[in-house]
Amino acid sequence: MVENERKDDNTGDSGGKSPKKLRVLLRTFGCQMNEYDSEVIRSILGQEGYTFCDSPQDADIVLLNTCAVRENAHRKVIGHIHALHHLCQDRPFILGILGCMAVNMEEALLANPALKIDLIIGPDSYRRLPELLARAAGSGGPAADTDFDISENYTGINPDRVSRVNAWVAVTRGCNNFCTFCVVPYTRGRERSRALTDILAETEKLAAQGYKQVTLLGQNVNSYADHATGFSGLLQAVSRVQGIERVRFMSPHPKDFPDAVIDAVAREPKVCKHIHLPLQAGNSRILKLMNRTYTQEDFLALVRKIRGRIPDVGLSTDIIVGFPTETASEFEDTVRVMEAVAFDSAFIFKYSPRQGTVAQKKYPDDVPEEEKTTRIVRLNAIQKGISLKRNSRHTGKTLPVLIEGLASRRSAREFQGRTDGNTIVVFPGQPGLAPGDIVPVRVTAATPHALKGETASP
Ligand code: SF4
């Protein structure tokens, strides 16, 4: 997650300054799609002459690009708003709420005077940001646009990218799956795919700018379809753009992995051998309540098929513990599947009801909080052991690593990068090496979260 931040006391007044003189603090919460959207937002405002700053004290405008995926995300944003009001009591500023929370909490946010929000904009309306900012600055009261626009893919907008190593390329927007716990279909609207020609044009431009890696983004990225071209065709076409060395994708759904897609990942040398495969739960009754459209057996069969075709593939997943009515023995199914699959890594969350979702409306949040805590602590401990074992299989091997940057801001001695399988590697820098380089690294040690290594001769 990219974090920029800021704030002040917000009378919604920009002091009549022209955009060229207004400084924006943009803070991004949540998923990679929000990171991409923030790069689009930076580009749209940059075109209008707005400039960006990093500290609250310097900003005339605060834009929070928010996430609504869990209660925690909501609480975090509300906490930030109050902290920022406190921090900047003596300066006028404009406060805007963007992203998923803007859509599913619009009324509540505007109805709460203590939040002093001037602007509310949903993920399909960022092209209107300059106009709505001007209206908010005119202080005719809050400006808002949270309508869906199925035609919007921000084609023609050149994202102002944060990373110089990995470029996000959104290939679909929205989602039609309506998993019962998920708010995304209600905040990002119906699914649509970008034209293949636009995606290839963007990828060629990125290659010309020196990008070695692109990550194809979508809420359900592997349901991509542009006329006759499906996701396997997209992977093949993007990975054949001159100059691009690595192609990743996020986030796929297990229901959309036909053989053609698995074959494309296996066959195309530049498509990274890492698949994020969100399981969510191990028990088939719970998967049905979640509307995940697959059973425990289907998921295990898919993993067998993928590993049969790509033996050393890196697999990661998402898990929700404590979904309504999940019994202790049904939770044991999640434990069993996690142990059977042995994912390289897992993002594990407690269930929290989302306003407006089917689960929130139909199922009581009846698993006690302490029990959710017991389950998440246990699953994290199990996964830690599995990740260490999975990472240890690389010890002694020499692997190609794409350097992403310095391992920590405190020391310039070590680089951090990722293997093709998406495992983090930390190793001493060498003169002449720089972020964006792909270097052979001999793995000397493993931890549950990363590998240690040293550069090896090619
Ligand atoms: S696939 Fe399910 S979990 Fe993922 S964004 Fe769509 S509705 Fe949400």
Ranges of the chain whose pLDDT falls below 50: 1-12
Of ligand 1's atoms, which has the minimum distance to the CA of residue 188? 5
Cα 270 to Cα 236, 237, 238, 419, distances in angstroms: 9, 11, 9, 12
Query: Distance between CA atoms of 443 and 82, rounded to whole angstroms?
Result: 46
178 in contact with ligand 1, CB cutoff 6 A: yes
pLDDT of residue 6: 38
Q: How far is the CA of 410 from the centre of ligand 1 (A)?
A: 38
User: Each residue of 320-354: pLDDT tens digit?
Assistant: 999 999 999 999 999 999 999 999 999 999 999 99
Of ligand 1's atoms, which has the minimum distance to the CA of residue 219? 5
* DSSP H stretches of helix in 12-127: 32-47, 71-87, 100-104, 106-111
pTM: 0.93
Residue located nearest, by CA, to atom 4 of ligand 1:
219
Query: Distance between CA atoms of 428 and 153, rounded to whole angstroms?
Result: 41
Cβ contacts of residue 434 below 8 Å, gap of 6+?
403
pLDDT of residue 11: 44
Cα 132 to Cα 32, 40, 86, 98, 433, distances in angstroms: 25, 16, 25, 12, 45
User: Each residue of 197-221: pLDDT tens digit?
Assistant: 999 999 999 999 999 999 999 999 9
pLDDT of residue 18: 67
Query: Distance between CA atoms of 313 and 311, rounded to whole angstroms?
Result: 6
From 224, 253, 320, 323, the mutation candidate for ligand 1 (largest count of ligand atoms within 8 A of CB) is 253
Lookup: tokens for 334 = 């999640």
From 177, 277, 358, the mutation candidate for ligand 1 (largest count of ligand atoms within 8 A of CB) is 177
Return contacts of 154-161, CB within 8 angstroms, 24+ apart: 154/40, 154/126, 154/127, 155/194, 155/195, 155/198, 157/40, 157/43, 157/44, 157/127, 158/43, 158/205, 159/36, 159/39, 159/40, 159/42, 159/43, 160/39, 160/42, 160/43, 160/46, 161/39
169 in contact with ligand 1, CB cutoff 6 A: no
User: What structural domains and CATH numbers belong to the chain?
Assistant: 4-145 (3.40.50.12160), 163-272 (3.30.750.210), 276-390 (3.30.750.200), 398-455 (2.40.50.140)
pLDDT of residue 8: 40
Q: How far is the CA of 251 from the centre of ligand 1 (A)?
A: 9
185 in contact with ligand 1, CB cutoff 6 A: yes
Side-chain-facing half-sphere of 184: CA atoms under 13 Å: 19
Of ligand 1's atoms, which has the minimum distance to the CA of residue 220? 1
Query: Distance between CA atoms of 134 and 195, rounded to whole angstroms?
Result: 32
- H/E stretch holding 443 reads strand 438-446
From 172, 182, 224, the mutation candidate for ligand 1 (largest count of ligand atoms within 8 A of CB) is 182
177 in contact with ligand 1, CB cutoff 6 A: yes
Q: How far is the CA of 279 from the centre of ligand 1 (A)?
A: 12
Of ligand 1's atoms, which has the minimum distance to the CA of residue 182? 8
Q: Are 172 and 190 in contact (CB under 8 A)?
A: no
Q: How far is the CA of 383 from the centre of ligand 1 (A)?
A: 23
Residue located nearest, by CA, to atom 8 of ligand 1:
182
Query: Distance between CA atoms of 7 and 86, rounded to whole angstroms?
Result: 8
From 34, 100, 179, the mutation candidate for ligand 1 (largest count of ligand atoms within 8 A of CB) is 179
From 69, 192, 219, the mutation candidate for ligand 1 (largest count of ligand atoms within 8 A of CB) is 219
Closest CA to 144 of 124, 123, 122: 122
Q: Are 425 and 398 in contact (CB under 8 A)?
A: no
253 in contact with ligand 1, CB cutoff 6 A: yes
